Amino acid sequence: MKASQFLFATLKETPNDADIASSQLMVRAGLIRKIASGLYIWLPMGLRVLQKVERIVREEMQNVGAQEVLMPMTQPAELWQTTGRFDDYGPELLRFKDRHDRDFVLGPTHEEVITNLAQGELRSYKQLPITFFQIQGKFRDEIRPRFGVMRAREFTMKDAYSFHVDQTSLAKTYHDMYEAYTRIFTRLGLDFRAVQADTGSIGGFASHEFHVLADSGEDDIAFSDSSDYAANVELAESVSTAERQAPSREREDVLTENMPTCKMVAEHLDIPLEQTVKTLIVHGHTEDNEPQLIAIVLRGDHQLNTIKAEKIEEANVPLTLASDEELKAAGLYKGYIGVDLDMPVFVDRSAAALSDFVAGANEVNKHTIGLNWERDARITRIVDVRNVQEGDPSPDGKGSLKIKRGIEVGHIFQLGDKYSQAMNCTVSGEDGKPVTLMMGCYGIGVSRIIAAAIEQNNDENGIMWPNTPAVSDSLAPFEVAIIPMKSKEETVMQTATALYEELKAQGINVLLDDRNERPGVKFADLELIGIPHRIVVSDRNLAEDKYEYVNRREAEKQMLSREEILAKVS
C-alpha cells in the first residue's frame, strides 16, 4: 500500500472523551472513530487489524471442525419469548417493533437463533456432534459503554455453538474449544489466563473465561502459579467457602446494574457508612419462572464494583405490591432509597423493624410491603462468602493465590439442555427415541481483543503490537514501512519502490510512506501506529547498498544490507 493513497487519520492531540491508553491510542492512530456512545467506525487502518484477528480466530475454529454460518443481527422476539429471555435479559437487550408492529431484538448473543436452526435442520444422532460459529456484530445496550471498543454497544464477536446427544460428547467439544482458545490467544501474543467463571445470564453448569492481564481490566482474577488453579474472584469467593448460592443471574444483575452505592445511601440517610445498607432485595425467578425475592446482605463499606456479598439468603415470598403514595401514607418511605429506578434497590434494614421492611421492585411505582422476614421468608440456604485475598492458600492446596486485573476476551460455557429444552430441539437417538440435545456456547470478543492487546503493549510513543510466535500472525496493520528520504531523488524512490515490490511479492503487508511530509512526521505516525519494522532508504546509504533499520521495540538504529533486511522482516 502506498501511504499517499491510504487514509492516514492520525491525531496529535489526545481526544478528551477517550478514557484509557488503548482507546486514546486507537483514536489517535486512526484505527477507529466514535460516532456515538459505544458506537465506532473502523477506519481502513483499524479494519486491517480487526480482519487479522478474525483470520486467526476463523482458522482455529475451522481447525476444531466448527462450520461457519452467518445469522442476522435482527431477531424475532418470539424466539426470545420461547426461552423466557425476552423478559429476563434486562435493559441490555434492545427491543423494537417493525412497521407491522411485530417485536424484534438486536442480537446480544445468538443461542435462540442457532437452537431454532438446529431444531429445524438436525434429524439424527448421526449428525452429531456438530459445531457452528459466526463472526458478526452484536448489540448490547451497555449501561456504561466505555474504554472505546473494549466495552462498546455494537461490537464484533465470534460466537460458536455445539450440539450433542450427551454430556460426554459436550465435555469433549468443550475441551477442544478450550484448547482452540488457548491457541488463539497464544498466537496473538497475549499474556492471558483461563479461569473458572460464573455462568451469568446465559446459564449452564461449567464455564471458563479467558482474561488478558492488564491493570485496566474490570475483573479480578485469582490464580496460583504453582498449580492449575485460576478463577474469577467473583466465583473464587464462593468456591473457596461453602457451596455456591443464589441463582447467579440475579446476582450478576445486582452487581452490574447502576444501583446506588453504599456511599450514596449513607449520604442520603446521613448515617455512618458501616451502618448503611444491610440488605439488598431483587426480584428474580425460580427455575420454574415463579416470582422470587432474593435478599443479599451486603457489607456497607464497598463501592458498587467491588461490592462483596457477606451472606446470601434466598427466600420465596408472596408479593404484595404498594405504590409510592401508599408507602408514604404508611410511613414506610423513610430508610428507603432507589425508588422507581427501574432496577434493584437498597433497603435500609436497620431503619425499620424486621417485620415491616420494604423491598424495591423492578417495576415503576411498585414496592413489596409488609414482609416479615422470619414469617414469610423460607430461608433455604445461607452461606458466608468471604473475599479471596492475595496470599490466601489456593483451594487445591498448591501454592498461594495472586490476584490480578483481567480483561475478559473469551468465555466458554457448557449450557446443558436449557435452550434445547425450551425450544424442543431434539433428534432421534440410537434407539429411535427423541433425545433433547446438549449444548455448548463459546464467545470471543474479537474487537475487544485489539483494545486488550494495546493495553498490554504500548509506550509513550504509541502502540506496540504484541510479539507473536509467528511473524505472519502480527496484528500490526502493516508489518513493514519503507520511508524514502528526499523522495524527489529518483534513485531513492526507485530503490524504495523496488524493495516495496519485493516485500509485497513475499506476502508481507508493507507500506511505502511516499507522503509529502517531513521525515519527523512520518516517523512519529509510524511509531504511533506501531509498525514493527521501519526501513529508511536514503541517498547517503545507497552507495554502500545499506538501509537504516529500526524495530518498534528497540531504540537502536541498525545499518543493514538488503539481505539482512529481508531476513529481519520475513
Applying CB under 5 A, which residues contact Mg ion? 408, 411
Q: Note whether 448 binds ligand ATP by CB under 6 A.
A: yes
CB of 491 to ligand ATP, least distance (A): 49
Q: Measured between alpha carbons, how far is 485 from 515 in angstroms, rounded to an integer?
A: 11
Q: Taking the CA of residue 219 as centre, how many other CA atoms within 13 Å lie in the half-sphere pointing to its CB?
A: 28
Of Mg ion, ligand ATP, none, which one sits near residue 548, judging by CB under 5 to 8 A according to partner kind? none
Q: Which is nearer to Mg ion, 138 or 546 (CB)?
A: 138
Inter-residue contact 419 to 428 (CB < 8 Å): no
Q: Which is nearer to ligand ATP, 452 or 499 (CB)?
A: 452
* Interface of this chain with ligand ATP, residues 129 to 188, rule: CB under 6 A: 140, 142, 151-152, 155, 157
In sequence order, the 6+-apart residues with CB closer than 8 A to the CB of 4 are: 514, 515, 516
* CA neighbor of 415 nearest in space, from 173, 226, 251, 183: 173
Inter-residue contact 316 to 340 (CB < 8 Å): no
CB of 156 to Mg ion, least distance (A): 15
Q: State the alpha helices, DSSP H only, in 442-489.
A: 446-456
* Interface of this chain with ligand ATP, residues 12 to 71, rule: CB under 6 A: none
CB of 218 to ligand ATP, least distance (A): 6
CB of 190 to ligand ATP, least distance (A): 12
Q: Which is nearer to ligand ATP, 90 or 484 (CB)?
A: 90
CB of 337 to ligand ATP, least distance (A): 26
> 3-class DSSP state for residue 1?
coil
Q: State the alpha helices, DSSP H only, in 355-417.
A: 373-376
- For residues 78 to 117, the per-residue mask of contacts with ligand ATP, x marking binding by CB under 6 A and - elsewhere, is -------------------------------x--------
Of Mg ion, ligand ATP, none, which one sits near residue 155, judging by CB under 5 to 8 A according to partner kind? ligand ATP
Of Mg ion, ligand ATP, none, which one sits near residue 252, judging by CB under 5 to 8 A according to partner kind? none
Written as nine digits, the cell of 543 is 552507495
CB of 104 to ligand ATP, least distance (A): 20
Of Mg ion, ligand ATP, none, which one sits near residue 208, judging by CB under 5 to 8 A according to partner kind? none
Q: Are strands 546-551 and 533-537 parallel, antiparallel or unpaired?
A: antiparallel
CB of 343 to Mg ion, least distance (A): 15
**DSSP secondary structure of 303-330:** -GGG--EEEEEEE-----EE-HHHHHHT
> 3-class DSSP state for residue 481?
strand
Residue 375 Cα distances to 115, 278, 315, 356, 370, angstroms:
43, 19, 11, 11, 11
Q: Measured between alpha carbons, how far is 292 from 522 in angstroms, rounded to an integer?
A: 62
Alpha carbon 31 to chain centroid, angstroms? 20
Q: Which is nearer to Mg ion, 408 or 548 (CB)?
A: 408
CB of 142 to Mg ion, least distance (A): 7
Edge-to-edge strands, sheet with 367-371: 321-322, 367-371, 357-359
Query: Which helix (H) or strand (E) is 370 found in, with range?
Result: strand 367-371
Q: Measured between alpha carbons, how far is 451 from 444 in angstroms, rounded to an integer?
A: 13
Chain residue at closest Cβ approach to ligand ATP? 445
Q: Which is nearer to ligand ATP, 448 or 552 (CB)?
A: 448
* Interface of this chain with ligand ATP, residues 393 to 412, rule: CB under 6 A: 408-411
Q: Measured between alpha carbons, how far is 147 from 22 in angstroms, rounded to an integer?
A: 8
* Interface of this chain with ligand ATP, residues 509 to 568, rule: CB under 6 A: none
In terms of phi and psi (left: phi > 0; alpha: psi -120 to 50; beta: otherwise), the region of 84 is left
Of Mg ion, ligand ATP, none, which one sits near residue 445, judging by CB under 5 to 8 A according to partner kind? ligand ATP
Q: Note whether 418 binds ligand ATP by CB under 6 A.
A: no
Written as nine digits, the cell of 529 is 501506529
Q: Measured between alpha carbons, how far is 504 from 498 in angstroms, rounded to an integer?
A: 10
Q: Which is nearer to ligand ATP, 131 or 276 (CB)?
A: 131
Q: Which is nearer to ligand ATP, 198 or 479 (CB)?
A: 198
Q: Which is nearer to Mg ion, 34 or 411 (CB)?
A: 411
CB of 146 to ligand ATP, least distance (A): 9
CB of 408 to Mg ion, least distance (A): 5
Residues that bind ligand ATP (CB under 6 A): 109, 140, 142, 151-152, 155, 157, 200, 408-411, 443, 445, 447-448
